Amino acid sequence: MLIRRPADIRSSEITDKNVYLNRRAFLRAAGAAAMSALGTKTLEAQQAAPHGRQLENVRKSPLSTTEKLNTWGHITTYNNFVEFGPDKADPALKASRMKTSPWTISVEGECAKPGVMNVEDILKGRTLEERIYRLRCVEAWSLVIPWVGFPLADFIKQVEPTSRAKFIEFTTHYDLKQMPGASSPAYRWPYIDGLRMDEAMHPLTILAVGLYGEVLPNQNGAPIRLVVPWKYGFKSVKSIVRIRFVEQQPRTLWTLTAPDEYGFYANVNPEVDHPRWSQATERRLPEFFMRKTVIFNGYADQVARLYRSMDLKKNF
């Protein structure tokens, strides 16, 4: 084998720097296009959720982003809902079997008014808001979704947490008969996640019951789910069956299942990479190219003060 030293290589044989950089850019673009084609193929291959009942008493929210909305098809065919399976297409294919009515939520722990509540009673007489929020997934894709819901703070005030309540814990429905992915030994079931009380009381945090003015499809967390727009999507617990007010930080599914990969706070921070991929960029479905990730998913002006004294790399 002939090994050529740098002195043996003529300058005419050396790739021009601009050509090299352009080639690298082309390869990155090609890779992004391939990923986009794969994602778009997945979106197109799945049947979008059927449209549901229109919700009443819905008003527009001034807290909404003005970014272009994703379509009903995008939002209902590309989902994370591991109780139905690990693939993004699994919820759309398998969630229709889940029965969402009647539905009750158990309110427990450090509050003055614990008990079991029907979703219908929780919604009775409420004015709902359409909140257009960005949703950022930890796997570096994002959507812009017109949620319909109401501030979680309103519900919290209704049940009167005590001074001992420092965190609020949410639990997702868990049913092996309706949720085939829930039999996977890869996760620490049931799906539990939580927030600090000040995060839960923030005006951006909502309990969502609808999408595009209609009741939530099953794959999107029917009949009621959490939405916390400055955090990665896995913090937004779907199909909630229990809300518990606790003094200690909840032990969540992801921090139990993969503690080296997922922290409790899950704030969108481009400076903190997942061990298996970068979080510095994201792809807005169904776009071809990546865009830079913005701290707190673009909500820094509203929420950065909550973490002013914290190391956001250590407390990821």
Residue 47: the pLDDT is 78
Residue 282 β-bridge partners: 291
Asked if 137 and 80 touch (Cβ cutoff 8 Å), the reply is yes
- The pLDDT of residue 15: 42
pLDDT of residue 46: 63
> What is each CA distance from 107 to 1, 115, 242, 254, 288, in whole angstroms?
73, 5, 6, 22, 44
Picking from 136, 107, 134, the residue whose alpha carbon sits closest to that of residue 122 is 107
pLDDT of residue 49: 87
**How far is 192 from 177, CA to CA, in rounded Å?**
19
Tokens representing 301? Answer: 């002006």
The span from the first CA to the last CA of the chain, in angstroms, equals 50
99: its two tokens: 């029965």
- What is the third-level CATH fold of 17-307? Sulfite Oxidase; Chain A, domain 2 (3.90.420)
266-310 confidence digits (pLDDT tens): 999 999 999 999 999 999 999 989 999 999 999 999 999 999 999
Q: Where exactly are the structural domains of the chain?
A: 17-307
The secondary structure of residue 276, as a DSSP letter, is T
- Please write the tens of the pLDDT for every residue from 193-220: 999 999 999 999 999 999 999 999 999 9
Decide: 257 and 188 in contact? Cβ < 8 Å. yes
User: Which residues in the chain show pLDDT less than 50?
Assistant: 1-42, 44-45
